[in-house]
């Protein structure tokens, strides 16, 4: 009888045990303390690793890397169904971290560590550098991210409204922080704030506490062994109920950029029920020894060593000083915010093997371009060296160049960053393996491009121009569209390069005399007259480029018969004579789509109309190329616009306004061409 009672109660007992187990498990999942990470089960991603002594190393000093480490089980945050423990969003965590910059970049490094609550442990497509491995340019700011983070960011990013140096920020779905502050802590004993430097390499502790009831988030920073300060660094009201999903992962995301440091977590405590337990500092793993903190027990070795080192240093010392000089750069206060986009001259010097002739890709009006391989990442780049002595306008120019580094379009050559030296500016771009388009068009030693390739390049570059003119946050006037500024990537996509560069000469010039920047043969008449570059003057230059591509010749060829010298006028005359296809590049040997060729030639003529108002807009131009507007039916009469009265333009009007430094064409040719193109053809 008794036995059956016991037997009957077994299922009940088992049920009870299962419930108990669930509660215990939930508790384990809701609260954990890691005094070092030896043997712990963390989900590691990117270059993160746990070192033999239990140190969690999120990143080393390799550039542009991501390291992430997450508690491997999801935690219940916003459970809508009933649950045993708590369905509040409150949590409390504290951890000890260290950011140790590489010695040569001392004292600066980057990029940062973020404590993260995220729906997933991995984020494919997340970017390093300023994105901290959390987002990328297209996902940053989306409310669908459901990501909460507290960033310890060593490098300010102007894009996210960060202006001063390192900072601690509260991020909700967006790296533009809800609130941020320079790293500091309230020293209770002294009753005042003390600022901290994230990049000393010394361990520091961060506490993050969120109270769901009054929706207050506190973030508190302090050096490792201090008690938790009584006043938080940041205390802000934020409602996380729209951010945190039912099931979330907690952990760390970290990145390096151009500036790097080894980034570590020494210990971590987390709790969803009440305050997180304190860490036991005595159990935390130690950081790898930094050379500056040599222990004194080695003194008897060190003294003779010093003597030897002294001898060694004094002999090659001269060489060392010379080397320092060789790599000398200019860096001013205002450039601090451009940290991530700034390359060191030493790296560029090494990348280009000391700017060897052999690495020279080309040279033009704006300077010499070298091929290089960045030592840190093995990335191939093109480095443009521009001599530039004017200090005036440098700040505006560099600011603009850096902001243009944010332009993203598949038909633009990506600008990666810059470096400055005395009298010199260096710009670093993506390397384009097939070089510039003009070589393919005008040199018989290069393979001929088929019409299909040419038309593809044309459409691509036109879409890049539309992006610059209409689709980015600011209107960017290129000012130097021409075949030699169109580069070809590995797949023969056309990429527009050197955007914004023309402005360098604008900024550098004396403001009282407006210089015309651009290249002879591509300069719209009103640009030469007024010096004012507009989207329409870019369309003019693009029109010239279209004709170059279709006809396979330069815009000006003085050795030809007089009616053929100016390409645009010649094509216009052929159109009038009903023989526009006669302008097609003879190297194509008739292998082209007639409709496309005719359209490109006619569009080229329309875009080079001497009167700006009669040119198509950039968007119309793209619509023509995409076949959305049919141009073939346009009667010639509507193209011919009478210019009444023609402004009396004489060659002297241009003389002073053309930069004499251009190598491509002479001044006399230009003034001659502009005059003719306005007076002839009657477009």
Ligand X SMILES: *[C@@H]1O[C@H](CO)[C@@H](O)[C@H](O)[C@H]1NC(C)=O
- Which of 4, 5, 12, 192 lies at the binding interface for ligand X (CB under 6 A)? 192
Residue 193 or 453: the one with the smaller Cβ distance to ligand X is 193
Distance, CA of 614 to CA of 37 (rounded, Å): 70
Residue 181 or 287: the one with the smaller Cβ distance to ligand X is 181
Q: Which of residues 16-55 bind ligand X (CB under 6 A)?
A: 38-39, 47, 53-54
- Which of 9, 72, 83, 231 lies at the binding interface for ligand X (CB under 6 A)? 231
Residue 186 or 327: the one with the smaller Cβ distance to ligand X is 186
**Residue window 53-72: x/- pattern of binding to ligand X, with contact defined by CB under 6 A:** xx-----xxx----------
Q: How many residues of this chain bind ligand X (CB under 6 A)?
A: 32
Residue 123 or 501: the one with the smaller Cβ distance to ligand X is 123
Q: Compute the least distance from the CB of residue 236 to ligand X, in Å.
A: 9
The verdict on whether residue 384 carries a ligand-binding annotation is yes
Q: Which of residues 100-129 bind ligand X (CB under 6 A)?
A: 123-126
Per CB under 6 A, does 235 bind ligand X?
yes
Phi, psi of 559 (to 5 degrees): -80, -10
Q: Compute the least distance from the CB of residue 334 to ligand X, in Å.
A: 25
Per CB under 6 A, does 241 bind ligand X?
yes
Distance, CA of 398 to CA of 433 (rounded, Å): 26
Distance, CA of 599 to CA of 166 (rounded, Å): 55
Per CB under 6 A, does 286 bind ligand X?
no
Six token digits for residue 57: 């190393």
C-beta separation of 74 from 165 below 8 A: no
Q: Compute the least distance from the CB of residue 459 to ligand X, in Å.
A: 22
Distance, CA of 132 to CA of 151 (rounded, Å): 9
Residue 218 or 614: the one with the smaller Cβ distance to ligand X is 218
Helix (H, G, I), strand (E, B) or coil at 131: helix
Per CB under 6 A, does 80 bind ligand X?
yes
- Count the neighbouring beta carbons within 10 Å of the beta carbon of residue 550: 30
**Interacting stretch for ligand X, rule CB under 6 A, among 231-239, 548-556, 589-597, 635-643?**
231-239
Residue 278 or 530: the one with the smaller Cβ distance to ligand X is 278
Q: Which of 480, 498, 538, 585 is catalytic?
A: 480
Distance, CA of 506 to CA of 523 (rounded, Å): 15
Q: Which of residues 296-315 bind ligand X (CB under 6 A)?
A: none
Per CB under 6 A, does 94 bind ligand X?
no
Residue 252 or 451: the one with the smaller Cβ distance to ligand X is 252
Distance, CA of 93 to CA of 1 (rounded, Å): 54
Q: Which of residues 134-153 bind ligand X (CB under 6 A)?
A: 136, 138-139
Per CB under 6 A, does 81 bind ligand X?
no
Per CB under 6 A, does 661 bind ligand X?
no
Q: Compute the least distance from the CB of residue 60 to ligand X, in Å.
A: 4
Catalytic (active site) residue 595 = no
Six token digits for residue 14: 């088992």
For 232-252, give the secondary structure using H, E and C. CCEEEECCHHHCCCCEEEEEE
Q: Compute the least distance from the CB of residue 341 to ligand X, in Å.
A: 18
**Interacting stretch for ligand X, rule CB under 6 A, among 228-236, 304-312, 340-348, 673-681?**
228-236
Per CB under 6 A, does 242 bind ligand X?
yes
Among 514, 499, 508, 518, CA closest to 394: 508
Per CB under 6 A, does 181 bind ligand X?
yes
Element (H, E) at 255: strand 247-255
Q: Compute the least distance from the CB of residue 240 to ligand X, in Å.
A: 9
C-beta separation of 261 from 57 below 8 A: no
C-beta separation of 654 from 521 below 8 A: no
Helix (H, G, I), strand (E, B) or coil at 206: strand
Per CB under 6 A, does 193 bind ligand X?
yes
- Please count the residues of the chain: 683
C-beta separation of 207 from 228 below 8 A: yes
Residue 241 or 290: the one with the smaller Cβ distance to ligand X is 241
Burial label for 200, CB within 10 Å (0-12, 13-18, 19+), is middle
C-beta separation of 115 from 28 below 8 A: no
Six token digits for residue 424: 């010199």
The torsion of the CA quartet 557, 558, 559, 564, rounded to 10 degrees, works out to 60
Distance, CA of 213 to CA of 96 (rounded, Å): 27
Per CB under 6 A, does 164 bind ligand X?
no
Q: Compute the least distance from the CB of residue 241 to ligand X, in Å.
A: 5
Q: Which of residues 198-217 bind ligand X (CB under 6 A)?
A: 209, 211, 216
The torsion of the CA quartet 516, 522, 527, 528, rounded to 10 degrees, works out to 60
Q: Assign 3-state DSSP to the chain and report helix, strand, coil percentages, each to 5.
A: 35, 20, 45
Q: Compute the least distance from the CB of residue 432 to ligand X, in Å.
A: 20
Q: Which residues are annotated as a binding site for ATP?
A: 384
Binding stretches for ligand X (CB under 6 A):
38-39, 47, 53-54, 60-62, 78, 80, 123-126, 136, 138-139, 181, 186, 192-193, 209, 211, 216, 218, 231-233, 235, 241-242, 245
Q: Which residues are annotated as a binding site?
A: 384
Active site members: 480
């Amino acid at each position: 009888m008794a036995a059956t009672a016991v037997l009957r109660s077994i299922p009940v007992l088992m049920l009870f045990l299962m419930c108990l187990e669930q509660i215990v498990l939930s508790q384990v999942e809701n609260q954990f303390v890691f005094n070092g990470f030896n043997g712990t089960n963390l989900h590691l991603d990117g270059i993160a690793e746990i070192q033999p002594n239990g140190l969690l190393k999120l990143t080393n000093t390799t550039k542009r890397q991501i390291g992430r480490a997450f508690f491997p089980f999801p935690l219940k945050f916003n459970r809508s169904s009933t649950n045993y423990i708590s369905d509040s969003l409150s949590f409390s965590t504290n951890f000890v971290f260290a950011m140790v910059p590489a010695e040569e970049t001392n004292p600066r490094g980057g990029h940062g560590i973020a404590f993260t609550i995220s729906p997933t442990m991995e984020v494919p497509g997340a970017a390093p550098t300023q994105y901290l491995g959390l987002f990328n340019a297209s996902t940053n700011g989306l409310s669908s991210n459901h990501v909460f983070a507290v960033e310890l960011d060593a490098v300010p990013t102007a894009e996210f409204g960060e202006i001063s140096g390192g900072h601690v920020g509260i991020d909700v779905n967006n790296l533009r922080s809800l609130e941020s502050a320079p790293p500091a802590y309230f020293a209770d004993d002294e009753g005042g704030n003390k600022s901290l430097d994230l990049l000393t390499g010394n361990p520091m502790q961060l506490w993050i506490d969120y109270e769901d009831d009054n929706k207050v988030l506190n973030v508190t920073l302090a050096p490792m062994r201090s008690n938790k300060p009584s006043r938080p660094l940041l205390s802000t009201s934020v409602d996380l109920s729209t951010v945190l999903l039912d099931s979330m992962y907690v952990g760390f995301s970290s990145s390096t950029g151009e500036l790097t440091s080894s980034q570590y977590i020494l210990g971590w405590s987390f709790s969803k029920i009440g305050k997180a337990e304190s860490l036991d500092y005595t159990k935390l793993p130690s950081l790898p020894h930094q050379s500056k903190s040599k222990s004194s027990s080695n003194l008897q070795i060190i003294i003779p060593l010093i003597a030897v080192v002294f001898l060694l240093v004094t002999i090659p010392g001269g060489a060392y000083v010379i080397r320092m000089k060789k790599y000398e750069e200019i860096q001013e206060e205002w450039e601090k915010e451009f940290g991530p986009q700034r390359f060191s001259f030493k790296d560029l010097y090494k990348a280009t093997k000391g700017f060897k002739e052999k690495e020279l890709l080309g040279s033009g009006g704006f300077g010499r371009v070298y091929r290089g391989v960045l030592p840190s990442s093995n990335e191939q780049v093109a480095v443009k060296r521009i001599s530039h002595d004017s200090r005036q306008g440098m700040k505006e120019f560099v600011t603009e160049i850096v902001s243009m580094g944010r332009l993203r379009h598949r038909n633009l050559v990506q600008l990666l960053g810059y470096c400055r030296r005395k009298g010199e500016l260096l710009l670093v771009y993506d390397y384009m393996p097939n070089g510039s388009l003009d070589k393919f068009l005008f040199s018989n030693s290069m393979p001929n491009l088929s019409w299909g390739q040419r038309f593809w390049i044309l459409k691509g570059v036109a879409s890049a121009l539309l992006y610059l003119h209409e689709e980015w946050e600011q209107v960017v006037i290129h000012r130097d569209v021409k075949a030699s500024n169109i580069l070809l990537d590995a797949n023969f996509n056309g990429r527009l390069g050197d955007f914004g560069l023309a402005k360098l000469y604008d900024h550098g010039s004396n403001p009282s005399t407006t210089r015309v920047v651009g290249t002879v043969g591509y300069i719209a008449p009103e640009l030469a007259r007024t010096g004012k570059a507009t989207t329409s003057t870019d369309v003019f230059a693009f029109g010239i480029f279209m004709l170059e591509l279709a006809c396979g010749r330069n815009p000006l060829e003085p050795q030809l018969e007089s009616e053929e010298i100016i390409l645009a006028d010649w094509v216009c005359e052929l159109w009038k004579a009903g023989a526009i296809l006669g302008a097609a590049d003879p190297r194509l040997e008739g292998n082209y789509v007639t409709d496309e060729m005719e359209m490109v030639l006619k569009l080229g003529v329309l875009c080079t109309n001497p009167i700006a108002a009669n040119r198509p807009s950039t968007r119309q131009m793209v619509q023509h190329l995409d076949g959305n507007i049919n141009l073939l039916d346009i009667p010639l009469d509507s193209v011919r616009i009478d210019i009444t009265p023609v402004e009396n333009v004489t060659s002297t009007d241009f003389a002073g306004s053309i930069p004499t430094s251009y190598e491509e064409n002479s001044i006399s040719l230009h003034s001659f061409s502009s005059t003719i193109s306005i007076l002839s053809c009657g477009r």
